[in-house]
Homo-oligomer: A and B are copies of this chain.
């Protein structure tokens, strides 16, 4: 067998290498770095190729492909969402992603994205909160203490200066897990027995629950003036977390309206209900928070450009670390027209 050339070998970041990369960079510096990459891509939002994700729904969940391109680099993520998986010891969400060179179509990076998606989702939430949360916000209610909760909390600490997090989950074991994981991270952690207790004194309310159904994690009377709501968990048709009355009292900010209208909290509203696109706030062409009393709501569903930013970040950080394997993914015959000859000679 002949050795494949460099062009045929795609750097692959395994789960183990991704964990090593996070420790190599440091989790908070990496969250800040991801937020910077995401913010810079939101600023050049208009030049991206944007399509709603390509979803394949089944009774058990959904498998999605999320492609985008900035004209030079193409990226996509494979991601599933299967709420019942946890009962069988599997992840609700697993993901991997790929970057490719637009000029040649050749992939340049393949990476696990289960962990990276948690990192980019948290970095996006915190980057958005930096633009929308009331000045001096330093306390967050974290409702839903599952796989995303620690990442969300540390991103808010690193990027927005969060000092205190108030945890609540319908399952006290989830809260205990989250509190234990956040110990010794320089943040004050308060475990709460009710959602009402959790939101006490919080200027940022993050909801991140996983049921695939219409749920009401926050009721209207729980949400006072002058807060920022970071609604992470409602992200597919039929899955929401907020009472409609809260939406009517809020100024709503979204990633990509055609997708959020289908998947986000605003699926509960009239399709003409006004929303503001986040990229306009971040690039300075639309207003974000305009008063201390306003309720701002980030109706987060996750968009392909955020994954693209995360893939770019990993590609840029990776080379000096050596934290990847070269994967023999692409057939690369000496003569590109002689694919058959390459196969044939492999037998000898």
Contact = CB atoms under 8 A, between A and B. Distances in A.
Interface in A313-341: 327-333, 335-341
A100 interface: yes
Stoichiometry, as copies per complex, reads 2
Interface residues of A, number: 83
Contact of A337 (B18, B49, B102, B177): B177
Contact of A339 (B78, B85, B114, B332): B114
Contacts of A174: 337
Interface stretch (A66-74, A128-136, A265-273): A66-74
Contact of A1 (B16, B56, B82, B344): B16
A51 B55 CA distance: 10
Nearest to A57: B49
Interface in A34-71: 49, 51, 54, 56, 58, 60-63, 65, 67, 69, 71
Given A91-B332, A92-B336, A104-B85, A4 B8 contact: no
Interface stretch (A146-154, A198-206, A244-252, A285-293): A146-154
A96 interface: yes
Contacts of A90: 7, 104, 106, 332, 336
A282 B9 CA distance: 39
| Main DSSP-derived SS at the A contact region | mixed
A289 B78 CA distance: 41
Interface in A151-191: 151, 174, 177, 181
A104 B82 contact: yes
25 contacts: A1-B19, A4-B15, A7-B89, A12-B327, A15-B328, A15-B331, A16-B328, A16-B346, A19-B346, A22-B343, A54-B65, A60-B103, A60-B105, A61-B105, A63-B102, A80-B104, A90-B104, A90-B336, A91-B339, A94-B105, A115-B339, A118-B339, A147-B340, A174-B337, A181-B338
